[in-house]
């Protein structure tokens, strides 16, 4: 367990918030975790937590959303003690292993557990999970549709955040993403301010699998920031793969390689970015690589093979 503490690759929003989240998620008091023996660089904050923070929900909203979900629909896992990461490949054990391997090539053998709260914890073999936990079934995968929707709505410079959309256009966009994800029967709930709507609204959104809804809050938007390296990377990827006049329909491996190349060209070091293949989504038919840059404390690009939007 000390090894996992040393290799911790995300920084919680705050110690008090993390303790509160953990106690509600796992329904188990383990005591305060030992302090890391060395300081590490800032790492990813789980994507779903970052999206909720945009809405202003904080740790209470995060805990509520995760506590009511199930292992198959939860987009965040606990990788070791008190370290939370997004599930990108859909395989929690693989994602935890890859996250730890970025910090040290020697990674202990890991095992995944579904805790009584429905949350997934990945721990070294031999480390006991919370009482009442059960081993993850063989070939366990987190639901692809939920993961795709989470990435689409958390896209750092996506249209919901920087597009200055009308409320009708925002709901239309959200409904379209749900259709791509195959989340039939889901609904979009939009909360608008009581006062006059901002001239350039944004729509931070949270995917709530427990109620089959996407909850959006209309607020003051942020126009595209041409000088911001995250915006530049996201805009470049979209111009090459989805939105530009010369956009190409790429396969997953080519898209991942292109994203890594673009990051290097913008001066982003390999230790500061993760590019992941999210998988295939959408009804049968032609699919092209669709990149999302999700908020995670540093650069985190997820590439999905999805129908051209």
Higher pLDDT pick, 44 / 154 = 154
Query: What is the distance in angstroms between the CA of the first residue and the CA of the last residue of the chain?
Result: 45
pLDDT at 287: 92
- pLDDT reading at 166 higher than 70: yes
pLDDT in tens, 21-54: 444 443 332 332 222 222 222 233 333 333 333 3
pLDDT at 305: 94
CA nearest neighbour of 57 among 16, 17, 111: 17
DSSP 50-101: HHHHHHT-HHHHHHHHHHTS-TTT--EEEESTT-EEE-SSS-HHHHHHHHHH
Q: Is 207 helix (H, G, I), strand (E, B) or coil?
A: strand
Q: How many CA atoms lie within 13 A of 203 on its CB side?
A: 26
- The predicted model scores a pTM of 0.73
d(CA 75, CA 68): 12
Can you read off the two tokens belonging to residue 243?
């939105």
The residues, ordered by sequence, that sit 6+ positions from 308 with a Cβ below 8 Å of its Cβ are: 242, 249, 286, 287, 288
Q: Is 230 helix (H, G, I), strand (E, B) or coil?
A: helix
Higher pLDDT pick, 237 / 282 = 237
pLDDT in tens, 231-243: 889 889 999 999 8
Average the pLDDT over each of 69-78, 97-106, 215-224, 243-252 and give the range with the smallest value.
Answer: 215-224
Q: Do 71 and 120 form a contact (C-beta atoms < 8 A)?
A: yes
What does pLDDT average to over the chain?
76
Mean pLDDT of 102-125: 90
The residues, ordered by sequence, that sit 6+ positions from 153 with a Cβ below 8 Å of its Cβ are: 51, 160, 174, 177, 205, 206, 207, 214
Q: Band the pLDDT of 221: cuts 50, 70, 90.
A: low
């Amino acid at each position: 367990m000390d090894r996992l503490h040393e290799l911790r690759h995300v920084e919680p929003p705050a110690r008090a918030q993390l303790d509160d989240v953990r106690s509600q998620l796992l329904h188990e008091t383990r005591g305060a975790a030992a302090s890391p023996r060395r300081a590490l660089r800032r790492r990813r904050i789980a994507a779903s937590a970052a999206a909720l923070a945009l809405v202003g929900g904080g740790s209470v909203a995060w805990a509520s959303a995760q506590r009511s979900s199930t292992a198959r629909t939860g987009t965040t896992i606990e990788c070791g003690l008190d370290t939370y990461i997004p599930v990108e490949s859909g395989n929690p054990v693989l994602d935890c292993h890859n996250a730890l391997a970025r910090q040290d090539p020697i990674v202990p053998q890991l095992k995944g557990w579904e805790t009584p709260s429905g949350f997934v914890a990945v721990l070294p073999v031999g480390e006991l999970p919370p009482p009442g936990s059960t081993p993850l079934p063989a070939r366990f995968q987190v639901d692809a549709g939920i993961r795709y929707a989470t990435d689409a709505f958390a896209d750092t410079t996506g249209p919901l955040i920087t597009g200055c959309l009308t409320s009708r256009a925002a709901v239309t966009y959200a409904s379209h993403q749900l259709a791509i994800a195959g989340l039939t029967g889901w609904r979009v709930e939009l909360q608008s301010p009581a006062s006059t709507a901002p001239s350039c609204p944004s729509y931070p959104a949270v995917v709530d699998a427990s109620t089959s809804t996407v909850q959006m809050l209309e607020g003051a938007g942020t126009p595209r920031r041409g000088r911001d390296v995250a915006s530049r990377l996201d805009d470049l990827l979209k111009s090459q793969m989805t939105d530009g006049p010369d956009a190409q329909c790429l396969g997953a491996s080519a898209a991942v390689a292109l994203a890594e190349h673009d990051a290097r060209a913008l001066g982003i070091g390999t230790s500061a970015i993760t590019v992941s293949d999210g998988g295939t989504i959408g009804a049968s038919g032609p699919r092209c690589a669709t990149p999302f840059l999700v908020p995670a404390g540093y650069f985190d690009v997820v590439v999905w093979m999805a129908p051209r939007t």
